[in-house]
Structure 1
């Protein structure tokens, strides 16, 4: 299975869809490599989910309390995002923004996820820019929030100044060397750019921090396979399949990779 297939399947679980949008020129050692692009698409919405969407629309329309209204709207947008209907989700974000007088983490979350699940580079850049604007406002108020900073960094890697995003991730690690999301993001960027030894280091770090981090173990296995250490990769994949704790998408990918060894 190719790395593209890895990203497609795990993207359904909101793990690495963002990698579809990353230019391969964005790498930790600033080497330039060929740009590749993968597209994702919206999925058919089951009837029961349509029912949930209609009920959430009703709740949004009927609710007068702004905070509750925004929360219902955020839930509605997340339903859209679950099935790749990013433009509808973005319109909900615009509505929430119009109801509030200050930057909203709900709006930032919708735009960032829309960026992750965009169908192509232009749409991704559009929603990355929307997310970036809100995230920057939020960070201006709370500059130590590493969750928001990680997200801002990943929107910057598709901007005109991608190395600012890499620098921001490194800055997070300088302040918090065990920040999982920053390590994960840098590891994923290393995979995307073909720096598999560097990726291996990142994911080994995560696994040493938490032996139950099966997402990191899967990416570590992928990195090991790419540097021809199949026996070690096999052990990791078998471990992922043996546990009850790993999410289904990770197990599915572990099974697919194991069958290819």
Structure 2
């Protein structure tokens, strides 16, 4: 689950340091020109051509993304973007779009990855192509720095996943992601209803259980959160995040001793220093 999209975008849990589960990169379209200049100075071509409809760049957070990209990743971006810009026919362009999308994804620039995966999906069709585009947009959605950006990227992800669900209505992974994008809209109950539908169809669906638990915490329904996370860790006893949030929920419902036991268990399940710091802070509060 850690490599799945952990949806904390809409979850403001002041008493938990949830950010240690989020990637360290945010890519924002609104700051595109800055990164275009940065790339140019580092040997990358300037932003995408005007006729592709997609500005590329970044603000402070995306500049961080640029800094953590390896030389190999930057070279892959340079090569793929050059090939894409030189492609003259639609078939070649759609093939290279996948290569360029993969390069952006490897460099943690997920909105750009989604954009080029979408180009390829629209050109070539196919459930897998649209799923790939939806996953990239969803990844970017989970990192959105503002509600407006989350809404925009969530809508893009939904559009891609809708093509997937037309052909495969039983794709619960796509359905769960769609549900979570609705949480960031004016109609969050639609998302919650979809998550419940996933649980009815697949009672052991880990992603749906996790997200329902997080949403229960968000709404201060810690007793319900306990139920969701207990089910989750019974399905997957090695689920680190599920164990952590079960401990949080138990602490908030007054089950201090069991919460302590689980917090200590989490420390033995992960070497993540940020996670262990959060656990230690919680344990200190429970003394």
Q: Quote the offset at 1:240 in angstroms.
A: 1.4
Residue 194 to residue 240, structure 1, CA distance change in 2 (3 Å): same
In 1: Cα distance, 2:261 partner to 2:166 partner: 45
What pairs up with 1:20-35 in 2 under 5 angstroms?
none
Q: Quote the offset at 1:211 in angstroms.
A: 1.9
Alignment-derived partner of residue 73 in structure 1: 101
In 2: Cα distance, 1:128 partner to 1:229 partner: 36
Residue 45 to residue 231, structure 1, CA distance change in 2 (3 Å): same
Alignment-derived partner of residue 185 in structure 2: 159
1:97 aligned residue (114, 118, 123): 118
Q: Confirm or deny: 8 A CA contact 1:56 1:73 kept in the other structure.
A: no
Q: Confirm or deny: 8 A CA contact 2:130 2:163 kept in the other structure.
A: no
Q: Confirm or deny: 8 A CA contact 2:248 2:259 kept in the other structure.
A: yes
Alignment-derived partner of residue 17 in structure 1: none
Residue 191 to residue 44, structure 1, CA distance change in 2 (3 Å): same
Q: Confirm or deny: 8 A CA contact 2:77 2:103 kept in the other structure.
A: no
Residue 206 to residue 246, structure 1, CA distance change in 2 (3 Å): farther
In 2: Cα distance, 1:52 partner to 1:256 partner: 38
Q: Quote the offset at 1:164 in angstroms.
A: 1.5
In 1: Cα distance, 2:241 partner to 2:233 partner: 9
Alignment-derived partner of residue 181 in structure 1: 207
Q: Confirm or deny: 8 A CA contact 1:139 1:149 kept in the other structure.
A: yes
Gaps of 5+ in 2: 1-11, 26-59, 85-91
Alignment-derived partner of residue 281 in structure 2: 256
What pairs up with 1:46-125 in 2 under 5 angstroms?
47=67, 49-61=69-81, 62=83, 66-67=94-95, 69-81=97-109, 89-100=110-121, 101=123, 102=125, 104-125=130-151
TM-score, scaled relative to structure 2: 0.70
Q: Report the more deviating stretch, 104-113 or 251-260.
A: 251-260
2:216 aligned with 1:205: no
Determine helix, strand or coil for the equivalent of 1:80.
coil
In 2: Cα distance, 1:141 partner to 1:249 partner: 41
Determine helix, strand or coil for the equivalent of 2:145.
coil
Alignment-derived partner of residue 23 in structure 2: 12
Residue 189 to residue 47, structure 1, CA distance change in 2 (3 Å): closer
Determine helix, strand or coil for the equivalent of 1:8.
helix
Q: Confirm or deny: 8 A CA contact 2:100 2:116 kept in the other structure.
A: no
Q: Confirm or deny: 8 A CA contact 1:215 1:250 kept in the other structure.
A: no
Residue 10 to residue 253, structure 1, CA distance change in 2 (3 Å): farther
Runs of 4+ in 1 over 6 A off after TM superposition: none
Residue 128 to residue 220, structure 1, CA distance change in 2 (3 Å): same
Alignment-derived partner of residue 25 in structure 1: none
2:160 aligned with 1:134: yes
Q: Report the more deviating stretch, 225-234 or 101-110.
A: 101-110
Determine helix, strand or coil for the equivalent of 1:234.
helix
CA RMSD in angstroms, aligned pairs only: 2.7
Q: Quote the offset at 1:256 in angstroms.
A: 3.0
TM-score, scaled relative to structure 1: 0.76
Q: Quote the offset at 1:225 in angstroms.
A: 1.5
